[in-house]
Amino acid sequence: MPEGDTVWRQAQALHRALAGRTVTRASLRFPQVAEVDLTGLPIHGALARGKNILLRVGDITVHSHLKMDGLWQLYGQGTDGRWERWRQPAQQVRAIIEASPRRDQTGLVAGSQPVQAVGFLLGLLDVFPSSAEESKLGHLGPDLLSPVWSDQLAQQAVTNLLARPDRPIGPALLDQGNLAGIGTIYRAETLFLTGIHPQTPVAAVPNLTALVQTAHLLLDANRNRPLRVTRTNDQPLWCYGRAGKPCYRCGAAIILEDLSEQGVGADRYAAGHLLARPEDTDRISFRCPNCQPLLG
Ligand SMILES: [Zn+2]
């Protein structure tokens, strides 16, 4: 599942490429929105809300979610008027939005070329009036990459987490209704850095505010960085993806375990085990058995 920083970067790229242009052609390949016609509408821009990308066109919002493997890519036009060749297979296309060269008050911006945004393997594509954004996305908790992140938003995330005090913190951190933006990588890294066992009941986590702020810092530090680093450039991650390897703090072997809520930690995977189904990746986590003792 893409992390919030990946989604944020894709929304930024869409925003830079598309804002200030006009839709010249759009093809939305989800049945419930296939008839929507965006042609001729001005593109205001794109932004991320948690793991959702909102593209505002006219008074409409095109909402996409990358789910497991989705991504947006941008393509230009050659001098012969043909679009660049896609870097992903055509059968993975879920949305195409083509836009005019950019204009400003004085007319066409010099050198501006048409652009094509293509969404591949999007997990969700929806279209609704922009005025309905809040009701459509109001279920999301505070956005860890919000431009107005604050102590109040951190406190709101803590309050949301504490609404189910007995729930293990591992699954609770992935619940985008509590706080938005964390995927399995930042969950593992945040829990490691705060020394928390993922099975710890939410109410028994000693400093939930520090934990939420750690997640925010990690995501924020990586928002413009393609290589995700929570440690050093040479050894970028503390524990995610390091099953069987020695913990950088204590030397114990990092373990990979199942965090499904039915049986948290019940069936522990062998080091290096490859997961059979992509949906399983939400359940797995990496942990140091020494540095993250079980509390509560
Ligand atoms: Zn350790």
Taken in order 160, 162, 168, 169, the sign of the CA dihedral is positive
d(CA 195, CA 185): 15
pLDDT (tens digit per residue) in 42-84:
999 999 998 899 999 999 999 999 988 899 999 999 888 899 9
Q: Which domains does the chain show, CATH number per domain?
A: 4-137 (3.20.190.10), 151-287 (1.10.8.50)
CA of residue 195 to ligand 1 center, whole Å: 9
Quickly count: other Cβ atoms within 10 Å of residue 191's Cβ.
Answer: 28
Question: 167, 228, 283, 287: which is the annotated catalytic residue?
Answer: 283
Band of pLDDT at residue 281, cut at 50, 70 and 90: low
CA of residue 191 to ligand 1 center, whole Å: 12
The residues with which 126 forms a beta bridge, in sequence order, are: 63
Asked if 56 is an active-site residue, the reply is no
**Mean pLDDT of the residues in the chain:** 89
What local confidence, expressed as pLDDT, does residue 104 receive? 78
pLDDT (tens digit per residue) in 226-268:
788 999 989 999 999 999 999 999 999 999 988 765 443 333 3
pLDDT (tens digit per residue) in 74-115:
999 988 889 999 999 999 999 999 999 988 778 777 778 999
Q: To which residue do tokens 């930690």 refer?
A: 265
What local confidence, expressed as pLDDT, does residue 272 receive? 32
Report field, pTM of the whole predicted structure over 0.75 = yes
Q: Is the pLDDT of residue 280 over 60?
A: no
d(CA 77, CA 281): 37
273: its two tokens: 């085990």
What local confidence, expressed as pLDDT, does residue 261 receive? 53
Over residues 116-129, mean pLDDT: 95
CA of residue 249 to ligand 1 center, whole Å: 5
Question: 9, 49, 51, 102: which is the annotated catalytic residue?
Answer: 51
Asked if 102 is an active-site residue, the reply is no
CA of residue 288 to ligand 1 center, whole Å: 5
Selection from 269, 2, 296, 62 nearest residue 169 by Cα: 296
Indicate the DSSP class of residue 49.
E
Q: Is the pLDDT of residue 116 over 60?
A: yes
pLDDT (tens digit per residue) in 158-169:
999 999 999 999
What local confidence, expressed as pLDDT, does residue 277 receive? 38
Over residues 149-177, mean pLDDT: 95
Indicate the DSSP class of residue 181.
S
The residues with which 85 forms a beta bridge, in sequence order, are: none
Asked if 2 is an active-site residue, the reply is yes
- Which residues lie closer than 8 Å to 140 by C-beta, 6 or more apart? 49, 50, 52, 176, 177, 180
d(CA 49, CA 20): 21
The string of DSSP codes covering 57-112 is: ETTEEEEEE-TTT-EEEEEEB-TTSPBPPPSS-GGGEEEEEEEPPPEETTEEPTT-
Asked if 279 is an active-site residue, the reply is no
Q: Is the pLDDT of residue 271 over 70?
A: no
CA of residue 238 to ligand 1 center, whole Å: 9
Q: Is the pLDDT of residue 269 over 50?
A: no
| 169, 174, 175, 176 alpha-carbon torsion, rounded to 10° | 140
pLDDT > 70: what percent of the chain? 92
CA angle 120, 101, 91 (to 5 degrees): 15
What local confidence, expressed as pLDDT, does residue 1 receive? 64
14: its two tokens: 């869409």
Q: Are 102 and 20 in contact (CB under 8 A)?
A: yes
The residues with which 127 forms a beta bridge, in sequence order, are: 62
Position with higher pLDDT, 107 vs 191: 191
CA of residue 290 to ligand 1 center, whole Å: 5
Q: Is the pLDDT of residue 149 over 80?
A: yes
